[in-house]
Amino acid sequence: MRSQALPQELIRAKRDGQALDVEAIRALVADIADGSLGDAQVGAFAMAVFLNGMNAAETVALTEAIRDSGEVLDWSGLDLPGPVLDKHSTGGVGDLVSLVLGPWIAACGGFVPMVSGRGLGHTGGTLDKLEAIPGYDIAPSRARFRELVRETGVAIVGQTGELAPADRRLYGVRDVTATVESLPLIVSSILGKKLACGLDALVMDVKVGSGAFMPTPEKSRELAETIAEVASKAGTPTTALLTDMSQPLAPCAGNAIEVREAIALLTGERRDGRLFEVTRELAAELLLAGRLADSANAARHRLDRALASGAAAERFARMVAGLGGPTDLLEQPDRYLAEAPVRRAVFAERPGRIQRLDTRALGLAVVELGGGRRQPEEAIDPSVGLSAIAAIGDPVDAERPLAVIHAAGEDAAERAARQLLAAITVGDESPAPPKLIHDVIRREAP
């Protein structure tokens, strides 16, 4: 249906299963952004899309309209000597990839204006992790943001009011009208914000498993394929990786704890594990998409050099200092990162090997400890969380714990211990570790 109709007629058309043209979608999104459409109408539109879906052309049009509903960053005036690149994850537990990948890409010649979010449900948020660093400003001025990207190659900040304002309003209404779980609305929400950052290429990390956002592997694949297709048709070459979230990505979860883990990886204290491998593969795909490497092997070699030389760690340190954090965080993390007063190792009730983990339950245990939010206005305790989380196949016994709890008090630690024992299955078999990267989906812009 065309856009000359009144908004309520466009909503009616979508309610009745009709496809909307580009002009109609752009008109509706513009009305959402400037407040011309009331909350009741926004909710009705969201429900109509939830119930009837959108075809590929409609989803591309919705994504582009959300992208264009506010400022679209333009980096051409800065004469950057490399591509503008970014990554987005559907979220998980122990997923601190952004903290490592951004500076790692910057050390390899890319420029990363990463606009990130807070924790949602059982998943941790990049902004919450960064706010565990004293003084770190997640909302710098636009001029400072651009200057830091130009000078350092990376700046990880929160969404500003100028970027994709239609999404902020539409998502707020979706959240209270039971319309979050709609593929066109999910895809356009993710991509509208990301593509407003003026990217040359994007890589998506779509999780699969018990801690994933999508409920089944099939739904995760559908999301990955749709994101890659829509973003590319909207003009941004995009690669989507389907990665495992049947257990935490890092062996830890919690804001200050995860910052420490990022520092350990960047400084060379840690150079293996699932976090390292997933981050390295995502970064390699970005170097390929940004034409900073001509093969996957060349991309990995360049990344390894940037890590071994300390260049990636140096970019992280410059970003933190440039956004108001301490200048010696890498040298003295314990001086700045909060530590919980109570630490308790949790042991299995019998010796054996880890058979499976309910990753979502582990994430919710961190939320219950105070490391996440049950209500949007709640404050977060950056010190709490889990460390030394055993992986699938690991042996556990009276000396090797399931995990170590970091809590604000003994009662909180006791509750978390019960949650961990319920979330982790121990048996006699020696299960193979789950596949880390299930698939890679690449799409070029037309």
SS3 232: helix
Catalytic residue among 126, 220, 239, 387: 126
**Residue 174 among the catalytic residues:** yes
The pLDDT score that the predictor gives to residue 120 is: 67
**Domain 76-332+437-443: which CATH number of 3.40.630.10, 3.30.450.40, 3.40.1030.10, 3.30.1370.60:** 3.40.1030.10
How many helical (H) and strand (E) elements, i.e. helices and strands, does the chain have? 17, 12
Catalytic residue among 87, 318, 353, 360: 87
pLDDT digits (tens, 9 = 90+) for 365-393: 999 999 987 776 778 999 999 999 999 99
**Residue 86 among the catalytic residues:** yes
Provide the residue ranges of all domains of the chain, joining segments of one domain with +.
7-53, 76-332+437-443, 338-427
pLDDT at 118 over 90: no
pLDDT digits (tens, 9 = 90+) for 50-74: 999 999 999 999 999 999 999 999 9
**Residue 90 among the catalytic residues:** no
Over range 6-23, report the average pLDDT.
95
pLDDT at 271 over 90: no
CA angle 393, 395, 400 (to 5 degrees): 135
Q: Are 426 and 346 in contact (CB under 8 A)?
A: no
**For the domain bounded by 338-427, which CATH number is listed?**
3.90.1170.30
Over range 411-433, report the average pLDDT.
96
pLDDT digits (tens, 9 = 90+) for 132-183: 999 999 999 999 999 999 999 999 999 777 889 999 899 888 878 888 889 9
β-pairing, 154-158 vs 85-89, is unpaired
CA angle 99, 105, 109 (to 5 degrees): 145
**Residue 194 among the catalytic residues:** yes
Q: Which CATH class is domain 7-53?
A: mainly alpha
3-state helix, strand, coil in the chain (%, to 5): 45, 15, 40
Q: Please report which helix (H) or strand (E) contains residue 437, including its range.
A: strand 437-443
Over range 203-209, report the average pLDDT.
95
Over range 94-115, report the average pLDDT.
97
Q: Please report which helix (H) or strand (E) contains residue 50, including its range.
A: helix 39-52
Cβ neighbours around 68 below 10 Å, total: 18
The pLDDT score that the predictor gives to residue 376 is: 64
Catalytic residue among 14, 129, 169, 174: 174
Catalytic residue among 26, 88, 118, 168: 88
- Of 168, 190, 179, nearest in space to 59 by CA: 190
**Distance in angstroms (rounded) separating the CA atoms of residues 39 and 51:** 18
Residue whose token pair is 């490497």 = 293
User: pTM of the prediction?
Assistant: 0.93
Q: Which amino acid is at 287?
A: L
pLDDT digits (tens, 9 = 90+) for 316-356: 999 999 999 999 999 999 999 999 999 999 999 999 999 99
Catalytic residue among 26, 59, 69, 86: 86
Q: Is 119 left (phi over 0), alpha (psi -120 to 50) or beta?
A: beta
**Residue 305 among the catalytic residues:** no
**Distance in angstroms (rounded) separating the CA atoms of residues 142 and 59:** 29
**Distance in angstroms (rounded) separating the CA atoms of residues 206 and 198:** 21
**Residue 219 among the catalytic residues:** no
Phi, psi of 165 (to 5 degrees): -60, -30
Looking at every residue in the chain, the average pLDDT score rounds to: 94
**Distance in angstroms (rounded) separating the CA atoms of residues 96 and 93:** 9
- Of 41, 303, 82, nearest in space to 173 by CA: 41
The pLDDT score that the predictor gives to residue 329 is: 98
Cβ neighbours around 262 below 10 Å, total: 25
pLDDT at 18 over 90: yes
DSSP 406: E
pLDDT at 1 over 60: no
The pLDDT score that the predictor gives to residue 340 is: 98
SS3 226: helix
Catalytic residue among 118, 129, 168, 193: 193
pLDDT digits (tens, 9 = 90+) for 291-318: 999 999 999 999 999 999 999 999 999 9
pLDDT digits (tens, 9 = 90+) for 89-101: 988 899 999 999 9
Residue whose token pair is 């979508």 = 14
**Residue 89 among the catalytic residues:** yes
CA angle 30, 36, 42 (to 5 degrees): 80
Catalytic residue among 59, 63, 69, 89: 89
